[in-house]
Amino acid sequence: MQLKQFIAVAGFVIGLVAAQSAVAGEVHNYTELIIGDTPGETFTIDADTDYYQHADIGIVGDGTLTVNGRLFLTGHMYVAGSGTLIVDGGEFHIQGNDTNIYVGETGRAIFQNGAFLHYVQSYVAQHNIIMWGSGSTQLDDTTVDCDGSIEFIYMTENSSYSATSVTYNHWKTWYLWDSTTLSLENVNIAGDIVFYDTPAMSFTNTNVIMPWLYFGSGAVIDYEFPQPANPDDPMTMTFDSSLPGVSGIPWSLTLDNCRYIAWGITPYPGSDVTVRNSDLAMIMYRFTGTGTFDLQGIMVNDSSYTDTTVPVTDRSLRLIGTHVNWWKVDVVDDFELTADSIVFSEMVTKNNAKAHLTNSTCEGQTIHLGALDDSYIHFKGGEVWSYVSVWTNATLILENSLVDWEKGQYIYQTSNIAHNNARLYCLNSNMKCLPEAYDSALAMFASIDAPQTGFAGFPVQIPGSAWIAAGPDSSAAFDHYELAVAPEGTTDWTVIENATIEVHGGTLGTWDTAGLTNGNYTLRLTVWVSGYTDINPPENYPAYGDIELVTYIPPRKKKGGCALGDPDSGNPWSTLFCALVLGLGLTLLRRKSGVSASDLNFEL
Whether residue 545 is found in the same domain as residue 562: no
Residue-number span of the structural domain to which 564 is assigned: 557-604
Whether residue 14 is found in the same domain as residue 100: yes
Sort 2 into a burial class: Cβ within 10 Å, 0-12 / 13-18 / 19+. exposed
Residue 336 resides in a domain: no
Task: Give the pLDDT score at 558.
Answer: 56
Mean pLDDT of the region 108-119 = 98
Residue 361 resides in a domain: no
First to last CA, the chain: 95
Whether residue 583 is found in the same domain as residue 475: no
Task: Give the pLDDT score at 23.
Answer: 55
Q: What confidence tens digit (pLDDT) does each residue in 358-416 have?
A: 999 999 998 999 999 999 999 999 999 999 999 999 999 999 999 999 999 999 999 99
Whether residue 532 is found in the same domain as residue 566: no
Q: Is the predicted pLDDT of residue 594 greater than 60, yes or no?
A: no
Residue 222 resides in a domain: yes
Q: What confidence tens digit (pLDDT) does each residue in 432-489 have?
A: 999 999 999 999 999 999 899 999 999 999 999 999 999 999 999 999 999 999 999 9
Sort 319 into a burial class: Cβ within 10 Å, 0-12 / 13-18 / 19+. buried
Give the angle 81-83-84 at the CA atoms, nearest 5°. 150
Residue 130 resides in a domain: yes
Whether residue 561 is found in the same domain as residue 524: no
Residue 456 resides in a domain: yes
Whether residue 217 is found in the same domain as residue 110: yes
Domain boundary among 307, 323, 339: 323
Mean pLDDT, the chain, as a whole number?
Answer: 90
Residue 93 resides in a domain: yes
Sheet with strand 477-487: strands edge to edge: 453-455, 543-550, 519-530, 477-487, 494-499
Mean pLDDT of the region 316-328 = 98
Q: Per-residue confidence at 133, pLDDT binned at 50, 70, 90? A: very high
Whether residue 173 is found in the same domain as residue 311: yes
Closest to 514 in 3D by CA, of 459, 581, 580, 438: 459
Domain boundary among 323, 342, 371: 323
Q: Per-residue confidence at 595, pLDDT binned at 50, 70, 90? A: very low
Q: Is the predicted pLDDT of residue 5 greater than 70, yes or no?
A: no
Task: Give the pLDDT score at 533.
Answer: 80
Q: What confidence tens digit (pLDDT) does each residue in 208-258 have?
A: 999 999 999 999 999 999 998 898 999 999 999 999 999 999 999 999 999
Residue 436 resides in a domain: no
Q: Is the predicted pLDDT of residue 599 greater than 70, yes or no?
A: no
| 75 phi, psi to nearest 5 deg | 160, -175
Q: What confidence tens digit (pLDDT) does each residue in 484-503 have?
A: 999 999 999 999 999 999 99
- pTM value is 0.84
Whether residue 168 is found in the same domain as residue 262: yes
Residue 532 resides in a domain: yes
Q: Is the predicted pLDDT of residue 586 greater than 70, yes or no?
A: no
Whether residue 124 is found in the same domain as residue 35: yes
Domain boundary among 286, 301, 323: 323
Q: Is the predicted pLDDT of residue 195 greater than 60, yes or no?
A: yes
Domain count, the chain: 3
Whether residue 203 is found in the same domain as residue 289: yes
Q: What confidence tens digit (pLDDT) does each residue in 30-72 have?
A: 999 999 999 999 999 999 999 999 999 999 999 999 999 999 9
Whether residue 117 is found in the same domain as residue 235: yes
Whether residue 466 is found in the same domain as residue 573: no
Q: Is the predicted pLDDT of residue 531 greater than 80, yes or no?
A: yes
